[in-house]
Amino acid sequence: MVAVLVRQQVYQAIKRRILNGEYAFGEKLNIDALCKELSVSNSPVREALSLLVNDQLVVLRPNTGAHVVQLNAKFYNELTDAVNTLLLGAYEICCRRKKKELLLSQLREQMAQLEHAAEEESERERIYAILRFDRCFVTATENKRSIAMFDKEIDLLYLAYIYNHQNRTIDWARNIERSRVLIHAVSGNYHQLVRNILCERSNPHVAD
């Protein structure tokens, strides 16, 4: 039980550093240094890194060991294409199975949290608020498998959002307006507009 607790604490500590940008994309993670910094033995660090590999936040490279995931245009496009496919499919399910009112209720609730985050919270919390807003399309399906698929990608999506905006400022006013228009489009059954907006935010702004 103690070993599991230590492993989880180490996992959370390294994960927090990755999401906070304390490590650069692709940076090598030195196990000995992590053991010293976190005051733990080698085993929980290696176990934590294995969990982070499963989360896709860390990759293991032959001869060089563990590295923070290296994002590039191909990786970004594949990730966002996969998530957009999930969001668009979820929206179709909501329409077909009469879950639109549930979707609208969740979107409006999350909209309030997004507006609060835009005014009061850190940039990290703002980005997660956007991701939770889009997540409503999946949670409204009430399909546990689909929700698990989205949740598995959410931290990687956060890093992808950072990557996509690394050379420009995030336009929060535009994100808020986009979310309001999306709610209006869902309410009014403007299906093509919903599809366009869902895909718009992931459009790459980085060099291929």
Going from N- to C-terminal start, the domains of the chain cover: 2-68, 73-200
Q: State percent of the chain over pLDDT 70.
A: 96
Reference 62, options 89, 28, 32, 31; nearest CA is 28
Please indicate whether the domains covering 2-68 and 73-200 agree at the CATH topology level: no
* pLDDT tens figures, 34-44: 999 999 999 99
Fold held by 2-68: Arc Repressor Mutant, subunit A (1.10.10)
> Taking the model in full, what pTM does it have?
0.90
Fold held by 73-200: Four Helix Bundle (Hemerythrin (Met), subunit A) (1.20.120)
The Cα 106–Cα 93 span in angstroms is 15
Q: How high is the pLDDT of residue 207?
A: 39
In the block, which residue shows the tokens 């050379």? 167
CA atoms within 13 A on the CB side of 203: 6
Q: How high is the pLDDT of residue 208?
A: 38
